[in-house]
Structure 1
């Protein structure tokens, strides 16, 4: 499924992430609560400055698993940024004790597949207003007075080299596309310390040189196996192979990676 971008992705994401914080934060997860049986957030359990991966969202009693890449990061200066599952967002927030108040969010305007649109609507509804914070080990739950909630898990940043990156979407110019049906998690790759990249294009295994310099990666010619696979897998393979060719620019944020060729064709991947 292909959907048209309403605004350029890079510009919109930059705009969201660089907006000046105009909210206030009265604490970094501090407050009178404790992280005991009640699970409330105490002073020893900060919530700011952490990359929280969204596990699921529950709205009006319906629980929906989050797509790859959905996350929230609450800044120490009263600003939360993240991804609703397709579009990036930024929102003013105020953390006081075991509550967080979330103002209406600014978002990029990427046209998304219907399943991602449905999740984004649910998460947008849940991540708003006054929410109670409840922490248990590496998990954090945000709950509204009406019972709507977001389940989060703390994640550490993934290094570019040594991480298995799984392709989650394809981009052509200003058009984003979901992966062909049935090919989810089939294309993946790892940059090695030896200067090689190895993985699967979606059907065939591959390897080749990959020189990382600044914000660019230069791929050498890829050597691949020669298996024939079903149509959707071959479609994905051709698209991924086209991106992993020559010099591309890359952008990495926490556990997400995007590669963009000079032609405008690219892909997005998440740490496996």
Structure 2
């Protein structure tokens, strides 16, 4: 299983801001510029321009803005980072990223992305296009994703694609990718697969909490990596667990801060 690192040269890190409000100084008749409104939006990365070279982003490269954070994929690795915004300037915090070994044709793009999206970035938002630019002129260009219906927790098939621990995130073992899935049913049951064995049980949804009852599993023996993943998932899927859905991503977080991320 891949370990986490804190990326000093942050991955795609962007600002989240509520719709602009007037923030002028007391007694001033001129309101301040509103912050760039990005919270709740999703974007595909079009290209990265760094050191005079423009690199097109691979399929699947994109980001989604939440309150105070940005999550996304470089087309190979997943990332998450805190961000702040003031007027039309983004300030990038430190990011965490999965460490999947990417194909050679993606390495140059990821390296350029890491180098470009760090520190203070000027923002230009026009229609469905967003440009983030460094002080020396390197930039990242993004395109607005069409609005998507947020999938419901119940009735959606969720594919587990990462393990979380606080703000950090790690990918699943290579030979278990795509094998862990969960589906919550209207009758309060939950069924799925944990990378090796099938699982079933009851799960009560109340507000932003899912409370799992005892889960039963089949008794197959699998590879060590699959069994390790299964134990991690069963530890999370126990008792009350906090859940959240952003765009097409579901997070389930246990009381100790460990959790899982899944996509619809």
Name the TM tier (shorter chain): 0.5 to 0.7
Aligned Cα root-mean-square deviation (Å): 4.1
Whether the aligned pair in 1 keeps the contact of 2:201 and 2:215 (CA below 8 Å) is yes
Structure 1 stretches of 5 or more lacking a match? Answer: 7-15, 29-47, 74-78, 95-101, 135-139
Cα distance in 2, alignment partners of residues 198 and 248 from structure 1 = 16
Q: Bigger CA drift: 143-152 or 258-267?
A: 143-152
Q: Which residue of 1 aligns with 2:142?
A: 150
Partner secondary structure for residue 166 of structure 1: strand
Helix, strand or coil at the partner of 2:178: coil
Shift of 1:233: 2.4
CA contact (8 A) 1:51 1:156 kept: no
Please tell me whether residue 219 in structure 1 is matched to residue 212 in structure 2: yes
> Is the CA contact (8 Å cut-off) linking 1:170 and 1:268 kept in structure 2?
yes
Maintained 8 Å contact 1:57/1:150: yes
What is the CA-CA distance between 1:92 and the residue it aligns to?
A: 3.2
Structure 2 unaligned spans of 5+: 8-15, 24-31, 74-78, 103-109
For 1:228, the equivalent position in structure 2 comes to 221
For residue 13 of structure 1, what is the aligned residue in structure 2?
none
Shift of the 204–212 alpha-carbon distance from structure 1 to 2, 3 Å rule, reads: same
- Deviation for aligned residue 1:213: 1.7
TM-score, length-scaled by structure 1: 0.63
Contact 1:70 1:84 in 2 (8 A): yes
- Tell whether the 8 Å contact from 1:203 to 1:234 is kept in structure 2 after alignment: yes
Distance in 2 between the 1:159 and 1:106 partners?
Answer: 31
Matched ranges for 1:158-197 at <5 A: 158-172=151-165, 176-197=169-190
Residue of structure 2 aligned with 1:87, choices 72, 77, 80: 80
Q: Does 1:55 align with 2:64?
A: no
Measure, in 2, the Cα distance between the counterparts of 1:266 and 1:172.
6
Q: Which residue of 2 aligns with 1:104?
A: 90
